[in-house]
A and B are shown apart, each in its own frame.
Chain A
Amino acid sequence: MSASADATVYDVAVIGGGVVGCAVARLLSHHELDVVVVEAGPDVGAGTSKANTAILHTGFDATPGTLEARLVARGYALLREYAPTVGISIEEVGALLVAWDDEQAAALASLAAKAASNGYTQTEIVDGDAVYDFEPHLGEGATGGMLVPDEHIIDPWSTPLAFAYEALANDASVLLNRRVVQCQVGDDLTTLITTSGQQIRTRFTVNAAGLYGDELHRTLGLDGFTIRPRRGELIVFDKLSRPLLNRTVLPVPTSTTKGVLVAPTVFGNVMLGPTADDVDDKTATGSTRSGIDSLLDKGRRILPALLDEEVTSVYAGLRAATEHSDYQISHERRLRYVCLGGIRSTGLTSSMALAEEALLRLIDCGLVAQPKDKFNSIQMTPLGEIDERPYQRSGQIVCHCERVTVGEVAAACVAAVPAVDFDGLRRRTRALAGRCQGFYCQAELCSLTGWSVAL
């Protein structure tokens, strides 16, 4: 990471180091451009990107004709191809959308038709008996279902990290702990001003500021969308529950939400969620009693045996929802500015397509993007349960629940964007993400990292 020398003039500044911003920076870094990611927090992928249902969406249920439908479908193809090449775990589990009454069963045909109009034709409608053949542990009352065989699961934390690492490997910069509060657009240069008064000069600007995208948009004198965070709470169950489920079990979506799903994770857990509550506070990432209880209620009906298992973690994320039902993507030539706003939970899947979209719009704003003759690739340590993990070869395990080695912890602390706290370590290695939540290894991890639980 280069220091933020005031003299530096970047070609493109990407504001926001979430999965979208990092994907944009990665693609731009494949071109002869000086690229910088300006992130408000101490780490990349640590805002709204970190609390995600971790589904690699086919986009089968998107609203046909929307930007989201197109970019999710395109992003799916790109990410599915990219992930295995860099070590981002994908598990090809597929999904089963389950109807729990006759009305929902009747809606399956129209969902299949909707999928087809989104270009996804692999769905298959099955009867209630077949549902139990596929998922024998489901609760009573399923009347039918629809298989979505390509709706897979992915490691949501390694994805933005891989993008960032690759961008850095190709000479992009990442500036952390810099919240942009003002953008002064001049004739050729835009000056970004951070909360601490620091100035970052750039020719072009991409807004990938997630939950704060609307505020950034307004600092440029633009309008058009307001982000009202939609909180999603999730419960992750012990890995011993994984045999209860073969694939992701989806509900029939309503007009307002995709509903509560039960999904395996690539790490070998089972996840239940999310809730969907509109909140006003963009930092309200706490879980709630009512949220947890409502998830348990739903989980008990969908997969009763799941409730007998221990809970490994509970967390909540905020989706960057707006008053609109589609992504809010726009660009302003006079401001040399591209806005990737209102990217909701599908942003993980669509991130690489959003990067393509951003590049096209930057070019339309006048950016000259000359592809590099060659660029560097990177390699992550895959964290999936079905991947080979370092402990299987050698190394002393420090986190026994997730089988994380001392070497992996050390590597995370000196990564291209290093882990700077236990949350960052958890996302990079899985350490502390397991069933004991640090009962056994918290103290040892403090010793290894030099970090404190007392701040």
Chain B
Amino acid sequence: MQSDRLERGTVTSTTGRRVVIVGAGPAGLSAAIALRRLGVQHVTVHEREQQAGGIPRHTDHLGFGMRDLHRVMSGPRYARALIDRATAAGVQLRLGSPLFSLDDVDADAIVLATGARERPRSARLVPGDRPIGILTTGSLQQLALKGLPVGGRAVIVGAEHVSFSAIFTLAHVGCRTLAMVTPLPRHQSYAVLKLAAATVRRVPVLTGVDIAEITGRRRVESVTLTDGRRIECDTVVFTGSWIPDNELARRSGLRIDPVVNGPVVDDSFRTSRDNIFAIGNLVHRVAAADRCALDGRAVAALVVGHFRD
């Protein structure tokens, strides 16, 4: 059982060691690859989805892999590259394998890399009707990847990095972006993307204003803004406002950072429970994929160092 193995802590080599990683996104896969390369014998990644790769798997535009693989790749290619490396390194990838509890996990160390999701409309307390056509970037990207229609005229809520990603995806599926709306005084993304949004796609960015209400019987008919303006549209995409997928961390009794909502970690990614580590957007919320991957590499060395202590 976990507690027996976790509390033993006397073996000094990586031989026979068992590390379980939860989540096969960039952080989890990178940790797994690095652990194997450092000689850890049993490295298992549990992924609840049927496919590994995490969010990059469905983020179909360039901008991935710069800091860890030193190449510029699309999200799906980046995910593929990490999966291939993990397989080559002898990582055991368990797909469709959700973990509901850490109690029965048989491991010398556990690395949580469950990532983050965007807050949906309801969590943002946006009033109004509940018609279909209300998405997040995550659901939009996956619909696009499957070639499924999303609507014709969209309003994007948020102006973070990922919000601009939503513009590209909408354009790709033939849905016009009528406006981006953000209560912040200016948008939060890179200048190049700002340029792309403003010039290439000609999307007005409405700052200092929020979405006040969604109207629509069966599908979205319009949104009303806090300044009273009304935009007729059939799709609303809520972007950004990331929240760690912290259920497993919380149910395992890990101390939680009240601001980030992820587990509290020290500078070695150690959580409040022995031999449980947390990396990636479970602790950062909104870091880029390659940064999460670097977390994975770093935690691998720390886990192995921890075995030697």
A311 at the binding interface (Cβ < 8 Å):
yes
Residues of chain A with a CB closer than 8 A to B127's CB: 286-289, 291-292, 314
A447 at the binding interface (Cβ < 8 Å):
yes
Q: Are B122 and A439 in contact (CB under 8 A)?
A: no
Q: Are A310 and B243 in contact (CB under 8 A)?
A: yes
B130 at the binding interface (Cβ < 8 Å):
yes
Residue of B nearest to A437 (CB): B120
**Minimal beta-carbon separation of B250 from chain A (angstroms):** 6
B105 at the binding interface (Cβ < 8 Å):
no
Which of B61-69, B71-79, B131-139, B183-191 binds A? B131-139
Q: Are B128 and A310 in contact (CB under 8 A)?
A: no
Q: How large is the interface on B (under 10, 10 to 19, 20 to 34, 35 or more residues)?
A: 35 or more
Given A400-B98, A453-B150, A454-B234, A443-B142 contact (CB < 8 Å):
yes
Q: How large is the interface on A (under 10, 10 to 19, 20 to 34, 35 or more residues)?
A: 35 or more
Residue of B nearest to A42 (CB): B218
Residues of chain A with a CB closer than 8 A to B150's CB: 453-454
Given A312-B122, A438-B135, A286-B143 contact (CB < 8 Å):
no
Q: Out of A310, A397, A442, A446, which one reaches B96, CB within 8 Å?
A: A397
**Minimal beta-carbon separation of B266 from chain A (angstroms):** 24
- Near B by CB (< 8 A), chain A positions 428-455 give 435-440, 442-444, 446-447, 452-455
Q: Are B143 and A443 in contact (CB under 8 A)?
A: yes
Which of B82-90, B209-217, B270-278 binds A? B209-217
Q: How far is the CA of A312 from the CA of B149 in the complex (A)?
A: 26
Q: Out of B122, B146, B212, B219, which one reaches A447, CB within 8 Å?
A: B146
Q: Out of B96, B133, B148, which one reaches A443, CB within 8 Å?
A: B148
**Minimal beta-carbon separation of A433 from chain B (angstroms):** 10
Residues of chain B with a CB closer than 8 A to A440's CB: 49, 117, 138-139
Q: Are A422 and B132 in contact (CB under 8 A)?
A: yes
B123 at the binding interface (Cβ < 8 Å):
yes
Q: Out of A292, A421, A453, which one reaches B133, CB within 8 Å?
A: A453
Q: Are B132 and A446 in contact (CB under 8 A)?
A: no
A122 at the binding interface (Cβ < 8 Å):
no
Q: Are B120 and A436 in contact (CB under 8 A)?
A: yes
Q: How far is the CA of A164 from the CA of B10 in the complex (A)?
A: 62
B15 at the binding interface (Cβ < 8 Å):
no
- Near A by CB (< 8 A), chain B positions 136-173 give 136, 138-139, 142-143, 145-146, 148-152
6 extra A-B contacts, CB within 8 A, seeds A286-B129, A442-B139? A292-B127, A397-B48, A437-B136, A440-B139, A442-B143, A453-B235
Pairs of residues from A and B, 10 with the lowest C-beta to C-beta distance, nearest first: A443-B142, A437-B120, A454-B149, A442-B139, A439-B138, A286-B129, A443-B143, A287-B127, A313-B122, A439-B117
By a beta-carbon cutoff of 8 Å, the part of chain A in contact with chain B is 239-240, 283, 285-289, 291-292, 296, 308, 310-315, 396-397, 400, 403, 421-422, 435-440, 442-444, 446-447, 452-455
